[in-house]
Amino acid sequence: MANKILAILEQREGLLKRSAFEAVTMAKQLSAELNLEAEVVVVGNEVSNINDIGNYGIDKVIHLKSTELENYSSSGYRDAVADYAKETDADYLLFANTALGKDLAPRLAVALNAGCLIDCVKLDSSSGELIATRPVYAGKALIDVKCNSTKKVITIRPNVFKAEETGSSSSTDVKVIEINSPNLKCKVVDFKKSEGKLDVAEADIIVSGGRGLKGPENFHLIEDLANALGAAVGASRAVVDAGWRPHGEQVGQTGKTVSPSLYVACAISGAIQHLAGMSSAKYIVAINKDKDAPIFNIADYGIAGDVFEILPALTEEIKKVKQE
């Protein structure tokens, strides 16, 4: 019998996230390349869009269910998944490298004595064994790495691999396994939502501001453009360290590493630690008055001028285009 790959999906507030479907597509692809049986595992209580999974090419879904596992519990989720993975003797566990995936995946690795391939941006099995490529030094370099262990735990970077609907099999066969008295040694008791804003780690478009904005009071220029684009607000380390913006918005080597479709860098010169965190964006726009700023070396499109003059005009132009 073929061995198994399990895609472990993240739900929050009863909803599977986009990155979860990216993991389904990747598990489907690896199952074909490595001749594995693919299954999807969802831990949680009610999950409203669980039947959408079949649209992404894997129809066998295991729902490890408990009202007490509605919110994340590192101990409870670990035990539930580890028990199922051991029972089915699965060799591969695949997660999206989200806050939950990063927290949970290594715990499963210890439970299963598996090697970890973390934050992968490429998975190649053409040689018959799985070789992962992952960024190190915040993307200044990449490494190719493989597991020596039979069991393998893999996390994939969100926003890098596409979730693809197959169009053919749209039925989803959900098998519910009730988890009785889960291990709640460590559990989430509350969630404090940031004030209605998009998170840079999840956003498809990011507008970031740097020290050239001269003060926190000018960040509304960044926020206005972000609102017009439906984008998240990011910040350079300099402005976070100066206390202008919260550290959750920091992009770079000691902030978040991001791979959006579009990154707009405003009044950011492009220190190497910042470039490391955002250079894998698909398209980069730079607006900076210093035409020799390093940010222009990696930008696809640049305007070498004054952000205070250009940003309001850009925001207006975007609004106009969006209305068309």
Partner 1 sequence: MKIAVCVSHVPDTATRIKLGKDEKTIDPDGVTYVINPYDEYAIEEALKTKEKIGNDSEVIIISLGTDSSKESIRKALAMGADGGILLKDETERDSFGVAKALADEIKLQGCEIVFCGKQSVDYDNNIIGQLISELLGYSCITVVVDLKIDGSKITAEREIEGGREVVECELPAVITTQKGLNEPRYASLKGIMAAKKKTIEEKPAAEAEHLTELIKMHLPAPKNPGRILGTDSSAVPELVRLLREEAKVL
Residues 48-77 binding partner 1 (CB under 8 A) are 71-72, 74-75
Q: Which residues, 168 to 197, sit near partner 1 by CB under 8 A? A: 185-194, 197
Using CB under 8 A as the criterion, what x/- string covers residues 4-43 for binding partner 1?
A: ----------------------------------------
Residue 192 CA to residue 195 CA, distance in Å, equals: 9
**In the complex, least distance from residue 210 CB atom to partner 1, rounded to whole angstroms:** 16
**In the complex, least distance from residue 163 CB atom to partner 1, rounded to whole angstroms:** 17
Q: Phi first, then psi: give them for residue 303, nearest 5 degrees.
A: -125, 120
279 binds partner 1 (CB under 8 A): yes
Give residue for tokens 């715990």. 107
Contact predicate 86/116, CB 8 Å: no
DSSP assignment letter at 290: -
211 binds partner 1 (CB under 8 A): no
Nearest to 226 by CA among 265, 254, 257, 193: 265
216 binds partner 1 (CB under 8 A): no
122 binds partner 1 (CB under 8 A): no
CB nearer to partner 1: pick between 178 and 324:
324
**DSSP characters over 221-233:** HHHHHHHHHT-EE
Contact with partner 1 (CB under 8 A) among 149, 166, 218, 227: 149
242 binds partner 1 (CB under 8 A): no
Provide the 3-class DSSP secondary structure of residue 48: coil
CB nearer to partner 1: pick between 21 and 72:
72
CB nearer to partner 1: pick between 32 and 246:
246
Contact predicate 310/286, CB 8 Å: no
Contact with partner 1 (CB under 8 A) among 148, 168, 171, 323: 148
Query: Angle at the Cα of 91 (from 88 to 93), degrees rounded to 5?
Result: 95
Query: Angle at the Cα of 172 (from 5 to 128), degrees rounded to 5?
Result: 25
What's the token pair of residue 24? Answer: 């389904």
265 binds partner 1 (CB under 8 A): no
Nearest to 269 by CA among 306, 240, 252, 294: 294
CB nearer to partner 1: pick between 150 and 169:
150
Contact with partner 1 (CB under 8 A) among 52, 59, 68, 199: 199
CB nearer to partner 1: pick between 58 and 90:
90
CB nearer to partner 1: pick between 61 and 156:
156
323 binds partner 1 (CB under 8 A): no
272 binds partner 1 (CB under 8 A): yes
Contact predicate 291/306, CB 8 Å: no
261 binds partner 1 (CB under 8 A): yes
Residue 220 CA to residue 137 CA, distance in Å, equals: 32
133 CB contacts (<8 Å, ≥6 apart)? 120, 121, 122, 123, 124, 142, 143, 144, 145
CB nearer to partner 1: pick between 62 and 228:
228
